[in-house]
């Protein structure tokens, strides 16, 4: 038995042998199935790419049925338990865990690139007082591309490395400044004596004290959340980074595309939507009516469902556990009771069971973010910051992949053809 498909075209009676590689056929091979010379050949119609592989990747492995997530082969549970975000970022980008000297160099480089040009600060101060921080982050990262024009030279590995260091280093600064902008507070500069997560918390919450040191349990919880959000194979925002990156644009512009995609409520914006949903439900007494609304199609249970996970999202399990650690410091978030009741009912209800809808990474993360004093509009920023390492790892793999070319899908044209233009005088009467 050979690894191939035999396809019979019933329009012509012709048969075609299509090689199977890693469970896929090359769409280009379908193009050879034609009824005649003027037939462009068979193509694949797959809105949302529900069953299309866009690349070969060795970065992240997901088994949606078994609820498995691994970064470069390491189970997420072990990385969340024992690693740091910067070590995971190194692993995703370089493909292996760093040795002592590699880690110290990496950490030093990131730490000493946390500052941004003062013009970026004045650029951010130009936003309205109530600008959504994701809109500010989106625009500021795009603006960074103008400060490092050499980043367009994407074929130079050392240049690529420098720009990836800058992006990972500066995202917390930009994210914190977007938060401070909305609070009407002065922007806080990075403190290079602090760890990545501790420095981020200091830039967010420092006021008149000489040095802001967050509770270590909160810093640890944020580190775990950053690790869990670092990458997730070919999700919507990574697909955006790869698609934009395929035009050979600089990594700042490609990352901006990822931020824009993550902003949407069906993707990274879901954590903000979950909090607003829980607040709107208001009490566990209202949960049954809300569930009825979901089943009638009037509501969507935000934080539930996933294109790949048809089982519990392993990240949700870890985040739910992290809730306990955070609430031990901050006090239990009263919305937790509603979230737990929603999950309990949904996991027993045929509507959700039949659609294999389980809590995803966004369902519980918002409860922690709120307990850490973040407003809901900051939640997706807290997703974008750690996901930057994943986006850049995927972007680097794309740039090095000889199989890749500029993204330019086909379409099925459904519009009019060869109409004659009628001059305005005749059309306007």
Q: How far is the CB of 216 from ligand SDX (least distance, A)?
A: 27
Reduced DSSP (H G I as helix, E B as strand, rest coil) percent helix, strand, coil of the chain, to 5: 55, 5, 40
Q: How far is the CB of 281 from ligand SDX (least distance, A)?
A: 14
Q: How many residues does the structure list for the chain?
A: 429
Q: How far is the CB of 171 from ligand SDX (least distance, A)?
A: 16
DSSP label at residue 210? S
Task: Write out the catalytic residue numbers.
Answer: 267, 306, 362
Q: Choose between 36 and 48: whose C-beta lies nearer to ligand SDX.
A: 48
Residue nearest to ligand SDX (CB): 305
Q: Are 254 and 359 in contact (CB under 8 A)?
A: no
CA-CA distance, 67 to 346, in Å (whole number)?
Answer: 18
Residue 96, classified by CB atoms within 10 Å of its CB into exposed (0-12), middle (13-18) or buried (19+), is exposed
Q: Choose between 64 and 142: whose C-beta lies nearer to ligand SDX.
A: 64
With CA atoms as reference, report the closest residue to 187 among 198, 196, 197, 178: 178
Q: How far is the CB of 313 from ligand SDX (least distance, A)?
A: 7
Q: Choose between 20 and 266: whose C-beta lies nearer to ligand SDX.
A: 266
15-19 and 4-8 as β-strands: parallel, antiparallel, unpaired? antiparallel
Q: Choose between 143 and 222: whose C-beta lies nearer to ligand SDX.
A: 222
CA-CA distance, 280 to 282, in Å (whole number)?
Answer: 5
Q: Are 241 and 255 in contact (CB under 8 A)?
A: yes
With CA atoms as reference, report the closest residue to 249 among 371, 310, 258: 258
DSSP label at residue 24? B
Q: Choose between 143 and 342: whose C-beta lies nearer to ligand SDX.
A: 342
Q: Which residues bind ligand SDX (CB under 6 A)?
A: 232, 235-236, 266-268, 270, 294, 300-308, 355, 357, 360-362
Q: Choose between 338 and 361: whose C-beta lies nearer to ligand SDX.
A: 361
Q: How far is the CB of 39 from ligand SDX (least distance, A)?
A: 32
Q: How far is the CB of 290 from ligand SDX (least distance, A)?
A: 11
Largest CA distance in the chain: 80
Q: Are 279 and 335 in contact (CB under 8 A)?
A: yes
Q: Choose between 271 and 333: whose C-beta lies nearer to ligand SDX.
A: 271
Q: How far is the CB of 282 from ligand SDX (least distance, A)?
A: 19
Residue 40, classified by CB atoms within 10 Å of its CB into exposed (0-12), middle (13-18) or buried (19+), is exposed
With CA atoms as reference, report the closest residue to 171 among 396, 391, 394: 391
């Amino acid at each position: 038995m050979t690894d191939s498909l035999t396809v019979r075209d019933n329009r012509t009676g012709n048969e075609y042998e299509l090689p199977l590689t890693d469970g896929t056929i090359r769409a280009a091979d379908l193009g050879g199935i034609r009824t005649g010379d003027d037939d462009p050949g068979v193509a694949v119609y797959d809105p949302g790419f529900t069953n299309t592989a866009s690349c070969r990747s060795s970065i992240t492995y997901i088994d949606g049925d078994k609820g498995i997530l691994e970064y470069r082969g390491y189970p997420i549970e072990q990385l969340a338990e024992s690693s740091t975000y910067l070590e995971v970022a190194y692993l995703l980008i370089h493909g292996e865990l760093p040795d002592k000297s590699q880690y110290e160099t990496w950490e030093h480089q990131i730490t000493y690139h946390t500052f941004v040009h003062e013009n970026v600060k004045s650029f951010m101060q130009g936003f309205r007082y109530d600008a959504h921080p994701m809109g500010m982050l989106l625009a500021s990262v795009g603006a960074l591309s103008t400060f490092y024009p050499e980043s367009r030279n994407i074929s130079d590995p050392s240049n690529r490395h420098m720009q990836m260091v800058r992006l990972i280093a500066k995202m917390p600064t930009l994210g914190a400044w977007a938060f401070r902008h909305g609070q009407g507070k002065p922007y806080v500069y990075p403190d290079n004596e602090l760890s990545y997560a501790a420095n981020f918390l200091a830039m967010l919450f420092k006021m008149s004290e000489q040095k802001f040191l967050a509770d270590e349990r909160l810093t640890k919880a944020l580190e775990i959340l950053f690790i869990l959000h670092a990458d997730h194979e070919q999700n919507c925002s990574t697909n955006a980074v790869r698609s934009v990156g395929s035009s050979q644009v600089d990594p700042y512009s490609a990352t901006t595309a990822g931020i824009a995609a993550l902003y949407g409520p069906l993707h990274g914006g879901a954590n903000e939507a979950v909090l607003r949903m829980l607040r709107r439900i208001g009490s566990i007494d209202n949960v049954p009516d809300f569930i009825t609304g979901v089943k009638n199609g009037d509501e969507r249970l935000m934080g539930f469902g996933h294109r790949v996970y048809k089982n519990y999202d392993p990240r949700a399990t870890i985040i739910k556990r992290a809730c306990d650690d955070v609430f031990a410091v901050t006090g239990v978030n009263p919305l937790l009771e509603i979230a737990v009741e929603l999950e309990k009912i949904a996991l027993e209800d045929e509507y959700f069971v039949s659609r294999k809808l389980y809590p995803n990474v966004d369902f519980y993360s918002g409860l922690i973010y709120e307990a850490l004093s973040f407003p809901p509009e900051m939640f997706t920023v807290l997703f974008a910051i750690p996901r930057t390492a994943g986006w850049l790892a995927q972007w680097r793999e794309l740039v090095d992949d000889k199989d890749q070319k500029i993204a330019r899908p086909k379409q099925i044209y459904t519009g009019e053809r060869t109409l004659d233009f009628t001059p305005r005088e005749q059309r306007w009467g």
